[in-house]
Structure 1
Amino acid sequence: MSAPATAGHAAAQPLHTVRAWWQAAPFALVFALFFIVPLALIAMVSLWDFNEYELIPALSLRNYFSIFEGCSHLTDNGDLCVTLSTYLSTLKFCLLVWAITLVLGFAVACFLAFHVRSPGMQTLLFVLCTVPFWTSNVIRMISWVPLLGRNGLVNQTLQGIGLIDTPIEWLLFSDFSVVLAFVHLYTMFMIVPIFNSMMRIDRSLLEAATDAGASGWQTLWNVIVPLCKTGIIIGSIFVVTIVMGDFVTIGVMGGQQIASVGKIIQVQTSYLQFPLAAANAVILLAVVLMIIWGLTRLVDIRKEL
């Protein structure tokens, strides 16, 4: 009786495999069509040549060499080349925004997960966190202008109560305003995965830590944070990838005076320098993928997916 059963199982195995492939085929097709193919086209165009009038489909590394031209030595003023300076500026914004959104996102998620007992109130407060996303990013950025401008509400209030005599210039169109806008726009991307991780924590572990004599900070650092690593990494990937490629926020809040990699790509595209912009995009993609690879080495994010 065992031999026929084994033969029947072996015959059913290929059918099961075929069905699995058919189920995965639509998703694989969408992934290839909207992700793999565009990336391949960008990589291909980055190897093309161009002039003032046309694109020349010829394999060449000219665009990559021109991007890093002069980066082997310092400039006459002792500065780095434009490309390295731009990447350092972008990484600076990325690091600052990541640190601030991590602290804010963790605090908000911790409050919602452990201090709000009612599921209904949790849902209500979580929905309130999403209210800013009901409007356009550009509108949310522009809303800071009448607040932070030279004659804005903040400066007028500070002058009115006598804290300052002249308006503060660096509130708008500066690194401060860019970081502020980034934090305003993307903190939610850190809150959601961390909150999801915290809701999966067994509350008996917190009670056990308290019974063992652990203080609130010890419980936070030794129990909650390790169990939230997956959510922290996922939120970090969201924030890092968005900030690295953003050019609208830096353009609007920086007054078109602050450089970033995304801004350079946008300017090159506006001047129809598509191969050069594609080469910059490939380099940016490589840098972002290396950052993501480093983050995913810290924890297996598949447990959260």
Structure 2
Amino acid sequence: MITHSRRTSYWQAAPLAAVFLVFFVLPLLATLMVSFWSYTGYSIEPAFIFDNYRDAFDRCIVSLPDLCTTFRTYLSTLKFCLIVWLITLVIGFTVSFYLTFHIRSTTTRLVLALLCTIPFWTSNVIRMISWIPLLGRNGLVNQSLIGLGVTNQPLDWLLYSDFSVILAFVHINTVFMIVPIANSMSRIDKSLVEAARDSGATGWQILRHMIIPLSKTGIAIGSIFVITVVMGDFITIGLMGGQQIASAGKVIQTQIGALQFPIAAANAIVLLAIVLMIIAMLIRFIDIRKEL
């Protein structure tokens, strides 16, 4: 028999569960269902076939050891994800460490943390477009390099390249790494650090054996945020890559634009499965519930 307190807990959780069901579970089930439908250039028909998944991967198996377009696209997406994750992790950890252990005043710490987040209140598209006048052939960076004599001609790789895509990703997603890591570091007892320092531990030893292990929950949460955003992104790839760089999210957007919903749904399910596997590996090493 359900007790009154347990019944009350169920009622309290019911609104959030209903939102989760309507806005996550049902759309996900609909996407999974559509991924098995058949389609032609003129129509989409309900069915239960695996042709959409075969179209994406059968040719890849046949063409091995060469990589097909699908595998190259997913590898490109994973490449951007890994590079952006590493850069945002280094920046996020460094900024969080400075704010937590080098700024003594709580007011100053809050002001600096606010300054880190204010630029992220603007639209992602606006922040991406702001790089174009800086990185273009006639942009400020190229003109400065030419004026300083560093180069004789504009550098074409600054814009519409892997470099510009990674730069925009780092610009957009660094805050998602700073906030959870800073939150984890703020819970570390400062007396433990002082005791370790008084015992003769070096700064590297304190960082390696104390700060990093006690911050791993925040690192994992920040990593989940960055990975999920980068893996599914198509706007940044399109704008900063000049519509010339492929990614899994860009492929799905193109297929939706061509009204190829079943194969787009199949690619979305594959992408979701990859992201979930990455997240599963991350949460094996930490207990997120402690942070939440």
TM-score, structure 2 normalization: 0.98
In structure 1, the partner of 2:254 is: 267
- For 1:172, which of 150, 159, 177 is the aligned residue? 159
Structure whose CA Rg is larger: 1
| SS of residue paired to 2:163 | helix
**Alignment of 1:295 onto 2:282:** yes
- Which residue type is aligned with residue 52 of structure 1? G
**Alignment of 1:52 onto 2:37:** no
**Alignment of 1:281 onto 2:268:** yes
In structure 2, the partner of 1:244 is: 231
- Which residue type is aligned with residue 49 of structure 1? S
- Which residue type is aligned with residue 246 of structure 1? D
- For 2:71, which of 84, 89, 101 is the aligned residue? 84
Does the CA-based 8 Å contact 1:73-1:80 persist in structure 2?
Answer: no
**Alignment of 1:217 onto 2:187:** no
- For 1:122, which of 99, 109, 124 is the aligned residue? 109
- Which residue type is aligned with residue 187 of structure 1? T
Show structure 1 runs of 4+ deviating over 4 A.
Answer: none
| SS of residue paired to 1:299 | coil
Gaps of at least 5 residues in structure 1 are 1-10
- Which residue type is aligned with residue 41 of structure 1? A
Query: How far apart, CA to CA, are the structure 2 residues paired with 1:236 and 1:16?
Result: 36
In structure 1, the partner of 2:89 is: 102
Once the two structures are superposed, residues 258-299 of structure 1 have per-residue CA deviations (whole angstroms, 9 ceiling, x without a partner) of 000000000000000011100000000000000000001111
In structure 2, the partner of 1:43 is: 32
- Which residue type is aligned with residue 33 of structure 2? M
Query: How far apart, CA to CA, are the structure 1 residues paired with 2:3 and 2:43?
Result: 52
In structure 1, the partner of 2:132 is: 145
The percent identity for this pair of structures is: 62
- Which residue type is aligned with residue 164 of structure 2? S
Query: How far apart, CA to CA, are the structure 1 residues paired with 2:62 and 2:35?
Result: 25
Gaps of at least 5 residues in structure 2 are none
Shift of 1:17: 2.2
- Which residue type is aligned with residue 61 of structure 1? F
Once the two structures are superposed, residues 222-254 of structure 1 have per-residue CA deviations (whole angstroms, 9 ceiling, x without a partner) of 110010000000000000000000000000000
